[in-house]
């Protein structure tokens, strides 16, 4: 971030305080230190010569009750590997209007077309009704995102996938450990992808994971995570039968992941408790809507999402956001632009130097519509959304400050 460009000195000062406090969200301690030291001392820093990645994969597989887990350098690369396996030129993949662009870009990297689905205005997750409407004969897969820690309606999404012979990938970047109908998210779809970057439920610096129970998919994805994916007896270099990649993590990040896995439930518990405290403190304010938690879910509050009624509050969302930041509080509108309205999509900027490939690919028989009005609910509701981090590093004093700052501005 070019902080000079942010201008306002008070805002900048607050942002630096919030960012500094955010370091407390990362429970990186002696356990991680010992794990990493072991790798350094062994000199086995790469996955081919160490065992930390394998151990990390096994731990995540166990946590997710999955038969297979494949570690990657990030979730962006995890999603890209999945897309390389499942979709290509001429294909469409359905995704919600709101997510990190990683969820859309992984499709374009593989020359397939992202089709955007409107959202439920309360949970901000993909709307299964709109999902059904957007299926065509070109659709190959659905990526369901569990946004900001709140599980999507994954049973319905899975049912729609099954009825239409579509693979369902769960994007669990912001919701590892959350539950839907008592079952962990990431256990419903054919594949689940996780992120361990900053701000996620689990932190390894950068990092990602793919889990699945489908052996064929697991093999196909793993094979693609090598340039020479097919082993040859006695040779260090295998044979390249397919287009391969190297999206593997290092042993150092996997070592951190092993120690972090012991803390995931505790980290989530802290976020849940912090969010409950905020909700009690902010109860009865008429002009903001507090986070909605559907009855059948365990929400892990990657973010504490509020929606402001600007007219009634006589305050804009951005004024509230900036005041919170000036007070050293980590708040942001985050993903407030439906992805298709980002210039790269709206202008259909593709591969290479500003080509429109794959959007105008002759193999693609559909029309990628990235105009305003495509997902009206997302376009309307995201303007009101402000996310406040309920991260595990916050103490009671920090939470009280969030409450009093909002209460001083909103009735």
Contact 123, 147 (CB under 8 A): yes
Q: At 367, phi and psi to the nearest 5?
A: -125, 125
By beta-carbon proximity to ligand PLP, the closer residue of 392 and 410 is: 392
Q: How many residues does the chain have?
A: 411
- Asked if 171 interacts with ligand PLP (CB under 6 A), we say yes
Distance separating alpha carbons of residues 319 and 315, to the nearest angstrom: 6
> Which residue, among 320, 300, 384, has the nearest Cα to 119 in the 3D structure?
384
Structure tokens at 54: 């394998």
Q: Does 210 bind ligand PLP (CB under 6 A)?
A: no
Beta-carbon neighbour count of residue 274 at 10 Å?
A: 24
Give the CA dihedral 54, 213, 220, 247, nearest 10 degrees: -40
Q: Which is nearer to ligand PLP, 189 or 282 (CB)?
A: 189
Stretch binding ligand PLP (CB under 6 A), from 129-137, 169-177, 359-367, 379-387: 169-177
Interatomic CA distance for residues 258 and 54, integer angstroms:
10
Euclidean distance between CA atoms 226 and 171, whole angstroms? 23
100 binds ligand PLP (CB under 6 A): yes
> Is residue 336 involved in binding ligand PLP (CB under 6 A)?
no
Question: How many Å apart are CA 204 and CA 253, to the nearest integer?
Answer: 5
Q: Is 254 a residue that touches ligand PLP (CB under 6 A)?
A: no
Q: Is the peptide bond before 358 cis (omega within 30 degrees of 0)?
A: yes
Please, which residue, 175 or 402, has the CB nearer to ligand PLP?
175
**Which segment (84-92, 98-106, 289-297, 400-408) binds ligand PLP by CB under 6 A?**
98-106
Region of 63-71, 170-178, 285-293, 395-403 interacting with ligand PLP (CB under 6 A): 170-178
Binder of ligand PLP out of 145, 176, 259, 406 (CB under 6 A): 145
Select the span of 95-103, 209-217, 248-256, 378-386 touching ligand PLP (CB under 6 A): 95-103
The answer to whether 103 contacts ligand PLP (rule: CB under 6 A) is yes
- The site map against ligand PLP for 63-82 (x = CB under 6 A) is -----------xxx------
Q: In the window 188-207, what residues touch ligand PLP (CB under 6 A)?
A: 195, 197
Q: Which of 208, 358, 390, 392 binds ligand PLP (CB under 6 A)?
A: 208
Do 240 and 24 form a contact (C-beta atoms < 8 A)? Answer: no
Residue with tokens 């042993």: 251
Residues found near ligand PLP in the complex (CB under 6 A): 74-76, 99-100, 102-103, 145, 171, 173-174, 195, 197, 208
């Amino acid at each position: 971030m070019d902080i000079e460009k942010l201008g306002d000195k008070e805002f900048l000062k607050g942002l630096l305080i919030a960012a500094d406090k955010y370091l407390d969200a990362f429970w990186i301690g002696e356990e991680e230190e010992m794990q990493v030291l072991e790798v350094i001392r062994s000199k086995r820093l790469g996955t081919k010569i160490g065992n930390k990645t394998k151990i990390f994969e096994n731990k995540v597989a166990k946590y997710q009750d999955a038969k297979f887990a494949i570690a990657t350098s990030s979730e962006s690369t995890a999603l890209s590997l999945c897309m390389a396996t499942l979709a290509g030129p001429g294909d469409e993949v359905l995704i919600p209007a709101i997510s990190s662009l990683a969820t859309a870009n992984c499709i374009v990297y593989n020359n397939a077309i992202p089709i955007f689905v409107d959202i439920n205005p309360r949970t901000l997750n993909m709307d299964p009704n709109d999902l059904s409407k957007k299926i065509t004969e070109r659709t190959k897969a659905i990526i369901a995102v569990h946004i900001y820690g709140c599980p999507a309606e994954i049973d319905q999404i899975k049912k729609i996938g099954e009825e239409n012979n579509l693979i369902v990938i769960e994007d669990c970047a912001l919701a590892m450990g959350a539950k839907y109908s008592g079952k962990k998210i990431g256990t419903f779809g054919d594949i689940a992808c996780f992120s361990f970057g900053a701000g996620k439920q689990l932190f390894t610096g950068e990092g990602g994971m793919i889990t699945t129970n489908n052996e064929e998919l697991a093999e196909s994805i793993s094979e693609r995570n090598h340039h020479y994916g097919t082993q040859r007896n006695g040779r260090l270099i295998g044979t390249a039968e397919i287009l391969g990649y190297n999206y593997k993590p290092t042993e150092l990040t996997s070592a951190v992941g092993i120690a972090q896995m012991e803390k995931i439930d505790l980290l989530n518990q802290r976020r849940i408790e912090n969010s409950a405290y905020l909700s009690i403190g902010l109860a009865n304010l008429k002009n903001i809507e507090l986070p909605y938690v559907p009855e059948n879910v365990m929400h892990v509050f990657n973010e504490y999402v509020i929606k402001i009624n600007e007219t009634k509050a006589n305050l804009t969302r951005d004024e509230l956001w900036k005041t919170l930041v000036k007070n050293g509080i980590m708040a942001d509108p985050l993903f407030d632009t439906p992805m298709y309205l980002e210039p790269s999509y709206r202008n259909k900027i593709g591969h290479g130097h500003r080509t429109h490939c794959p959007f105008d690919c002759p193999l693609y028989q559909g029309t990628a519509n990235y105009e305003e009005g495509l997902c009206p609910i997302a376009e309307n509701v995201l303007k009101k959304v402000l996310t406040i981090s309920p991260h595990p590093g916050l103490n009671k004093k920090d939470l009280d400050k969030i409450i009093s700052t909002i209460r001083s501005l909103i009735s």
